[in-house]
Structures are given as C-alpha cells and as structure tokens.
Structure 1
Amino acid sequence: MTEPQQPTNSDLSQGRAYTAPQITVYYDAKRCCHVANCVRGLPAVFNPEQRPWIQASAAPAEEVARVVMTCPTGALHYVLEGGAPEQPDTPTRIMPAPDGPLIVRGNLLIGDQPETRAALCRCGQSGNKPYCDGTHAKVGWKSE
C-alpha cells in the first residue's frame, strides 16, 4: 500500500505526494472538479473508495503517468524517477467546456506557478480563482 508522503516545500504547490517505485503522483484537492478521468482510466490506482485513494504502485509507472496526463484540471501531476518531467502540450490549447470551465493545456504560467494543465473558472463564482472549483454547477451557470 502506498502511503501519502508529506510534500516538501518545493512540492507544496503540487499537493499531496503518493510515492511508488519509479513514480510520484501529486494530488491537489483544491483543483479537482471530479471529472474522474483518473478513476475511469486506471481504477486499480485511483479508487476513491480506498484509503489512500491513490495506489501509485498498482500499475506500471508509465501507465500511471499516461492516465495522470488525462486530468484536465491539473489536480494530478507526476514525476518519473530518472525520467523527463511532465511535458506541456504544444501548441497551447484553450477549450471551453460546455457549461463549465476553460480547459487549458500547454506551457502555462498561472501567477508565478508553471503549469501544464488547468481548468479555469468562467462563471466568476469559484472560491479557488483562477481555478474552477465546480461552483458553476451549483449556481446553475450556463455558457452561451
């Protein structure tokens, strides 16, 4: 079982660390909008019914990294041991989700934090601006 590790100061912006041989997965709960690409993509690793909910050693590191990259919000990130860091998409893409956030993928700088993926608030009601926190659904915001 993979126990969550306390992040170091340099990891604080990435969230809680879940370490396994060859990979560390970081989860930032404040940025998660529960799209669940991770749960559908690799349920043996990402299982919200277990504690800890991320079992990074339950699949090969490259497979875990592939599924982490499908997280549109950037709530999940990874670092491969001895491997290249997560690479941003080229070119940068901005896609509005129907009745939801702007999904942004690429070489991003949000505030002073480098990012590769983010879901940015469009409704103006998020409690975690500039990131979407799902408030648009609670307030009934619709895109036009």
Structure 2
Amino acid sequence: MKSIKKEYSNGEVTVVYEPDLCIHSGVCFKGLPQVFQPGTRPWVKMQGGSTQEIINQISRCPSRALSFYMNSPEKTEEEKGPTKALETGRKVEVLENGPLMVEGPITLVRANGKREAMEEVCYFCRCGSSKNKPFCDGSHEELGFKE
C-alpha cells in the first residue's frame, strides 16, 4: 500500500504532510491556526504565516507527519537535483568510530523516568564503555572502537 504525501508551498518553503503518520495531537493548529485549519480544504493555508513561523511550528509536530523543504526557485529542475528535506531543528549524526552527536533542543528521558532538557549539542556513547552513560566520555578511543 502506497503512503500518501501532500505538499503545500508558498514559493519559499514546501510543507509535506503524511496523513498515515499523523496522531492528531492538534499541536499544528493550536500553535498556528491561521495556517493549519483541519476540516477545510486545503487544510494548510500557506499564506497565513511567515516561512519562519511555519518552519517553527512544523518542528513541534510530535509524529513528524509534517515536514518541510526549502524551495530553490532560482534553479531549474535539472540544476536542483533530487529534493531533500531539511533538518527541522534537530540533528543526529553518527560520528565515524565514535559517539552519536545530537543537536538540541531535545528532552532526554533516563531509564528512571527523569527528564532533562538538553539545549546544546550532546554526544551519546555507542561503544558501551563510557563511565558517564548515556554520554560519551571518550572511552571508545582507548578501546579502539570501530564500526
């Protein structure tokens, strides 16, 4: 079964909606009701907000049913190449033979349920030898950790 994707654009940014992922939390329309209007067609009114407001609201979507990519109208389709979604405020990068680098803001939920706001970049251990888990302490280097 093919999943549905709908796109809405203001020329500068294109919003991608994947209804199969949506959990109907209401975060989108509660935060930016002039853009996100369920029950109307089309339900995304791109002229209702600035590009930055739309991007900021999409980054709050808990299910990731909403994403976006920036348009490049100055380039031809041939020059653009394949369309790629841009990061929506968070980034996880696997560092070669090292930790996972996570750019915040994120919420870290520990095994005991304690929640911590991580505003900056943090590095998570992948080798299992850190003495400061879940964070990396550089133990992978002396261990000779390789992927």
- Residue in 1 that maps onto 2:9: 19
- What is the rounded CA distance, in whole Å, between the counterparts of 1:33 and 1:24 in structure 2? 21
Alignment RMSD? 2.7
- The aligned runs of 1:1-144 (5 Å cut-off) are 15-82=5-72, 85-87=86-88, 88-90=90-92, 91=102
Partner secondary structure for residue 77 of structure 1: strand
% same residue: 29
1:13 offset after TM fit, Å?
6.8
Letter in 1 for 2:17: Y
- What is the rounded CA distance, in whole Å, between the counterparts of 1:62 and 1:23 in structure 2? 9
**Computing the radius of gyration over CA atoms, which structure comes out larger, 1 or 2?**
2
Letter in 2 for 1:33: I
What's the TM-score, normalizing by structure 1? 0.50
Partner secondary structure for residue 64 of structure 1: helix
Contact residue 14 and residue 28 of structure 1 kept, 8 A: yes
Letter in 2 for 1:37: V
Partner secondary structure for residue 15 of structure 2: strand
- What is the rounded CA distance, in whole Å, between the counterparts of 2:51 and 2:57 in structure 1? 10
Letter in 1 for 2:58: V
Contact residue 61 and residue 80 of structure 1 kept, 8 A: no
What's the TM-score, normalizing by structure 2? 0.49
What are the ranges of 5 or more consecutive residues in structure 2 without an aligned counterpart? Answer: 73-84, 93-101, 110-147
